[in-house]
Amino acid sequence: SGKFYQHATTEASQATLASVSPVFAVMKLDKEGNTTYFEKKKTELYQELGLQARDLRFQHLMSIATRNNRIIMRMEFLKAVITPEFLLILDYRNLNLEHWLFNELASQLAGEGQLVTYSLPFEFRAIEAILQYRISKLQGRLNTLQPQILETLEALVDPKLLSVDRSKLHILLQNGKSLSELETDLKVFKETILEILDEEELIEELCLSKWTDPQVFEESTSGIDHAEEMELLLENYYRQAEDLANEARELRVLIDDSESIIFINLDSHRNVMMRLNLQLTMGTFSLSLFGLIGVAFGMNLESSLEEDPRIFWLVTGIMFLGSGLIWRRLLSFLGRHLEPPLPPHVPAVLKKSQPAAGRVEIKSNLKAETFGLSRSTLTNQ
């Protein structure tokens, strides 16, 4: 009874695991470009492919690995398993992949596209098609960001603007984040390719047909080095990713430089406003200083001056004239202290004067020394 209970429990647990195991929507493409679609549980799929369950986890955003003469690739949303006879695309129902999967991939694998590996084994065409798709997506993201960033920076760097448009800054911030994500994706792509290029054994393992088809192995030993072809293929897409990374880096430098220019423009306008405020403050101080005369006459003190009608105009003229003179002196004092320092004085000897009739003029006090130096030079020669 105990053995029967254990057996029943084991069967129940296996049935439960089978019912909850994930199901992959699989798209299968063969060498001729024929396409079939089906759904299969993960347990059945890795058993048919001779893999382990951990091989189909796809835990990294980008990875290229080999297991049991199978190439397992992950390119963000794309999950693929490559064999010498066919290509499996797992979970292909994605809006970002439909156009490429249904309109381009089959023809590329059949040799009708523009892939340079059409004369090589099937895994070469599959790897190049996937790498080409990934590079084209990265290139498209860069082509979308570049004009937006340039247009935003052109609007922000305008020196005529006294203030910065916050909406433009918000757009620039979003584009900067998208550019950082693109730089990260390019870095991951390059590191993944570089890890394979640094290991000769990994490059050899990517050549599946070399080990499964004896005829291909004989052709490779007779002159066609598949490992070298695979290395050239990976280097080609590594260089393309490097070019994209350089363009993204130039955009990043341009953003940083533009931010400095924006800050300089804002500081310049701020300095102008501060200088204007200081000038108005000095004018107010000058008027207040000589306004004390009017305050003194405005007190209810009896004197003989208020009886003369000319005193009003005389006192008013003195007030305005004195205020103007004081304000002028303050402005000249401000100008002397805010003007940039003069460049250091360069002796006239070091300045080359304009040649007259093909000759250079030299001061008279240096003629004797120059003549002695020329004679000593001739003597040495």
Q: Find the farthest-apart pair of alpha carbons in the chain and give their distance in angstroms, rounded.
A: 135
pLDDT of residue 358: 43
Which sign does the torsion angle of CA 329, 330, 333, 335 carry? negative
Give me the helices (H) in 92-121, please. 98-100, 106-109
pLDDT of residue 164: 63
pLDDT of residue 251: 92
Strand order in the sheet with 35-41: 35-41, 23-30, 86-90, 78-82, 70-75, 62-67
Low-confidence stretches of the chain (pLDDT beneath 70): 1-21, 95, 112-115, 158-164, 211, 213-224, 294, 296-297, 299-304, 306, 334, 336-381
pLDDT of residue 372: 47
Flag whether 1 is in a domain.
no
Residue 293 Cα to chain centre, angstroms = 66
Helix or strand holding residue 309 (H, E): none
Strand partners, 27: 37, 89
How many domains does the chain fold into?
1
Q: Let me know if 120 is exposed, middle or buried by CB neighbors in 10 A (0-12, 13-18, 19+).
A: buried
The residues, any chain, with a CB within 8 Å of residue 231's CB and separated by 6 or more, are: 197, 203
Flag whether 169 is in a domain.
yes
Lookup: tokens for 279: 């000038």
Neighbours of 323 (CB within 10 A): 19
Flag whether 359 is in a domain.
no
How many residues appear in the chain?
A: 381
pTM exceeding the 0.85 threshold for the entire prediction:
no
pLDDT of residue 243: 95
- In whole angstroms, give the CA distance from residue 122 to residue 117: 9
Flag whether 364 is in a domain.
no
Q: Let me know if 122 is exposed, middle or buried by CB neighbors in 10 A (0-12, 13-18, 19+).
A: buried
- In whole angstroms, give the CA distance from residue 24 to residue 89: 9
Flag whether 329 is in a domain.
no
- In whole angstroms, give the CA distance from residue 76 to residue 78: 6
Domain range enclosing 110: 23-264
Flag whether 232 is in a domain.
yes
Helix or strand holding residue 140 (H, E): helix 122-156
- In whole angstroms, give the CA distance from residue 211 to residue 218: 10
Flag whether 371 is in a domain.
no
Question: Phi then psi for 81, rounded to 5 degrees?
Answer: -125, 125
pLDDT of residue 20: 53
Among 206, 58, 194, 77, CA closest to 134: 77
pLDDT of residue 345: 56
What is the CATH number for 103? 1.20.58.340
Flag whether 330 is in a domain.
no
The per-residue b/e assignment along 155-182, b for 16 or more CB within 10 angstroms, e otherwise, is: ebeeeeeeebeeebeebbeebbebbeeb
Residue 51 Cα to chain centre, angstroms = 39
The residues, any chain, with a CB within 8 Å of residue 105's CB and separated by 6 or more, are: 29, 89, 129, 133
